[in-house]
Structure 1
Amino acid sequence: MNTRSLNVAASLLLVALIALCVLWEGWLAPLRPGGSWMMLKALPLMAALFGVLKGRRYTYQWLSMLVLLYLVEGVVRASDPGLGGMLAWAEAILAALLFVTVVLYARLSAPSRQGAAGN
């Protein structure tokens, strides 16, 4: 897998995770009827969006640590009844896939590997 395909995959996963967080806490299964302030949990992910779209390695590095919080939240809330539990599983799966993708991108885009690509 090359860095271009990893960049596209990470971009799609990040947008999907942002959309899931906003929809989940705003309309689908909010903690409180009528929506909740928990939808603001998407803001840190949105801070990473342009860096990921531009392929900035540093953004991928810190995003790899941030996305683990969303993975943990998804696993913890997966036992919620009904739609909330299903959305939590979706969050956990998206976060896990995003974590793997950003770690692979950061690894493959390392300056020490740029010279080795031609060998």
Structure 2
Amino acid sequence: MPATPERTEPTSPERLSRNLALTACGALILLCLAWELWLAPIGRGTLAVKALPLLVALAGLWRYRMYTYRWLALAIWLYVLEGLVRSTSEAAPGRWLALVEVVLGVVVFTACTAQIRQRLAAAKAA
């Protein structure tokens, strides 16, 4: 039985979508922490714990784990929904931060979805 060659290097579009997902996820972590701790905190800053799942995801994205791309593509919608709700219910600084959260969430979703599609297509072709 002949062995199929394993592809070890990602293609250029795969690298682009991975780097985009990593960058947007890192920016979303920084936004969540800055928002809840310094820029427009609500309460005692306990909402900053919402960045913890993104830290776990960042490690999986860095390691190029397909499972992480899949669950993050689903979980990111919680951040998008939070941003949509807070963009309509908060005053000026919180409103703009919420809109940035929505944009970053959509970028993370798009990059994760592109990564999943590219890697599944490459596996199907192999």
Q: TM-score, normalised by structure 2?
A: 0.85
Q: Structure 1 residue 101: deviation in Å? A: 0.7
**Runs of 4+ with >3 A deviation:** none
Residue 45 of structure 2 aligns with an amino acid whose one-letter code is S
Partner of 2:31: 20
Give me the identity figure in percent.
Answer: 37
Tell me the number of residue pairs that the alignment of Structure 1 and Structure 2 aligns. 114
TM-score of the two chains, using structure 1 as the length reference: 0.90
Per-residue deviation at 1:6? Answer: 0.6
Larger Rg: 2
Q: Does 1:50 align with 2:59?
A: yes
For residue 30 of structure 1, give the secondary structure of its aligned residue in structure 2.
coil
1:54, CA displacement in angstroms?
1.5
Q: Deviations over 1:1-58 (max 9, x none)?
A: 71111111110000000000000001000112xx410000000111111110121111
Residue 48 (structure 2) aligned to one of 33, 39, 44: 39
CA RMSD, Structure 1 to Structure 2 (Å): 1.4
Deviations 1:46-88 (A, max 9, x none): 1111110121111000000110100000011002111000000
Q: CA–CA distance in 2 between the matches of 1:5 and 1:11? A: 10
Question: What amino acid sits opposite 2:18 in the alignment?
Answer: N
Residue of 68, 85, 103 corresponding to 1:59? 68
1:115 Cα offset (Å):
5.0
Question: Per the alignment, in what secondary structure is the counterpart of residue 115 of structure 2?
Answer: helix
